[in-house]
Structure 1
Amino acid sequence: MIYFITLLCGLLFGFGLALSEMTNPAVVIGFLDIFGNWNPSLIIVMAAAVAVSMIGYLISKKQIKPLLTDLWSLPTAKIIDSKLILGSALFGIGWGLSGYCPGPGLTTLTNNPAEGLYFVIALIAGSALYQFQPTK
């Protein structure tokens, strides 16, 4: 059942991205171009996503355990360190240069396969590089 719910959530997420045109890098780059032809639609999409996430989080706080598994899997880190700042900066730079973040970027494999292949290869390479980070 958990796999079906996970698939359903992924499909709903993808549908929302497609419906809001967040799979179109021109829309994302238009949002980031505040001194040019600015497109503020991403603010509405982000606000809706944050609102839905907050509601889900508040509901989860009132439950003793999740519905489909035994334990909660929630982040516990509360510190802002150099890894977080560097990772966030790299994500933002990549997003700003390409107009893709990981979710919408995967849709390029069907929308624009030549460009999508480059994005997915870079996504996998970046994820693999995480394994080689220095440890303390």
Structure 2
Amino acid sequence: MPYKQIVAAAIVDSLVAPTKLLAARRTAPPALAGMWEFPGGKLEVGEECTEGVKRELREELGIEVELGSEIFGPIPEGWVLNESAAMRVWFAQITGGVPDTLEDHDQLAWVELEKQALEALSWIPADFPIVRAVLADTMAGATR
């Protein structure tokens, strides 16, 4: 059975020299409420992944972004979230708007891009491997 494709962004303060990551705290479903994640969502029919990320960020946070490099997961669909969904994630930098909790989130936080600060948040379990990949990619300068 193919995975439902989810898309998301690791929003950083700068694609050139990132120091902070924007984390979003979920409000639903109940099992994930209060946990932190990378903002994003489901693709619409016929939508390209990169266009879907931009649309989701406009809808959820009210921002426009420039996408950087993809944070590649272990499978072509990206990172396995559960038995039916996988998520592709891109670095992104805000180019317009101010992030706000318009949909699906009740809090946003800019977090230092360092292991201790990121691991202090209660991330959705499926996002932990992506957090580690974000750290590795930013240390390697692979955000653009």
Asked if TM exceeds 0.5, the reply is no
- Of structures 1 and 2, the one with the larger relative CO (CA 8 A, separation 6+) is 2
TM-score by length of 2: 0.26
TM-score by length of 1: 0.27
Higher normalized helix content (fraction of residues) = 1
